[in-house]
């Protein structure tokens, strides 16, 4: 099917992917909206091309699309390498879960992916540095395990005047009421606030800190991506 330098798109012979538009993380968007251009399904790439493309997509914050590329390689590759490509695809799905704010799902898929690629540790085919990737998996899983609930937004405590003329707060700042604790976050283009009890505020602050930790972790995950592999040293076929 694939001649040197020639990519054959045999999309017609494969089941079509869902044509619904998707965002950068592969989440379905309403029909008729402009989604992120999807990866054409069933493009045949050699191993080098698959790895380069998956790496590029991971580093540009599109782990879902990287997973599609790796999945194509898994489905079209030689039988002996199925588990390798499936494992790499699972790692990309793990990163997708993390980026969608699901640390538990992320840890599970990264564990599964690591199990899939582990048997290739000695061989490290296609210039992949499997031991380095496994080390990365273990580190990321340990960090994900520290994150339970996540929450976006911020928590603020404010004292406010009530506005009643008879109240001392109209003339004395010291008599302002509160503090009232609020959790504020962006929702549908505007800021929404909810009052919290002091106990809720403690949890909210913790979960928001978790969100920031996850956000930084995702950033590192995507930047590390497959760059630890040595495939760039492989001459292009």
Binding residues vs Zn ion (CB under 5 A): 162, 167, 169
To Zn ion, the closest distance from the beta carbon of 181 in angstroms equals 18
Q: Which is nearer to Zn ion, 162 or 203 (CB)?
A: 162
CB 168 within 8 A of CB 175: yes
Taking the complex as a whole, how short is the minimal distance between the CB of residue 35 and Zn ion, in angstroms? 51
d(CA 217, CA 110): 14
The candidate with the shortest Cα–Cα distance to 230, out of 82, 48, 22, is 48
Question: Burial, 76: exposed, middle or buried (Cβ in 10 Å; 0-12, 13-18, 19+)?
Answer: middle
Instruction: Considering the complex, state which of residue 121 and residue 172 has its C-beta at the smaller distance from Zn ion.
Output: 172
**CB proximity list for 126: less than 8 A, separation 6 or greater:** 47, 48, 51, 229, 231, 234
Q: How far is the CB of 167 from Zn ion (least distance, A)?
A: 3
For the bound state, the minimum distance from the C-beta of residue 155 to Zn ion, rounded and expressed in Å, comes to 23
Nearer Cβ to Zn ion, position 169 or 222?
Answer: 169
Closer residue to Zn ion (CB): 135 or 178: 178
Reference 51, options 64, 74, 68, 70; nearest CA is 70
Q: Is the Cα dihedral 93, 96, 97, 103 positive or negative? A: positive
C-beta of 34 vs 165, nearer to Zn ion: 165
Rounded to a whole number of angstroms, the minimum distance from the CB of residue 196 to Zn ion is: 21
């Amino acid at each position: 099917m694939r001649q040197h330098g020639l990519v054959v798109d045999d999309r017609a012979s494969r089941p079509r992917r869902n044509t619904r538009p998707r965002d950068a993380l592969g989440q379905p968007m309403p029909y008729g909206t402009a989604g992120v251009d999807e990866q054409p399904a069933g493009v045949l790439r050699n191993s080098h091309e698959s790895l380069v493309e998956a790496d590029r997509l991971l580093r540009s914050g599109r782990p879902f699309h990287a997973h599609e590329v790796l999945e194509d390689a898994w489905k079209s590759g030689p039988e002996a390498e199925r588990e390798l490509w499936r494992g790499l695809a699972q790692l990309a799905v793990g990163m997708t879960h993390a980026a969608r704010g699901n640390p538990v799902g992320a840890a599970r898929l990264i564990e599964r992916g690591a199990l899939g690629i582990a048997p290739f540790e000695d061989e490290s085919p296609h210039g992949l540095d499997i031991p380095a990737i496994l080390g990365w998996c273990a580190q990321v899983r340990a960090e994900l395990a520290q994150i339970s609930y996540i929450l976006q937004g911020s928590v603020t405590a404010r004292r406010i005047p009530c506005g009643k003329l008879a109240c001392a707060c109209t003339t004395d700042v010291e008599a302002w009421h509160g503090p009232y604790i609020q959790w504020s976050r962006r929702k549908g283009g505007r800021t929404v606030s909810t009052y919290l009890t002091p106990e809720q505020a403690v949890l909210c602050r913790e979960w928001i800190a978790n969100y920031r930790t996850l956000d930084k972790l995702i950033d590192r995950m995507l930047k590390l991506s497959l760059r630890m592999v040595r495939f760039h040293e492989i001459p292009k076929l």
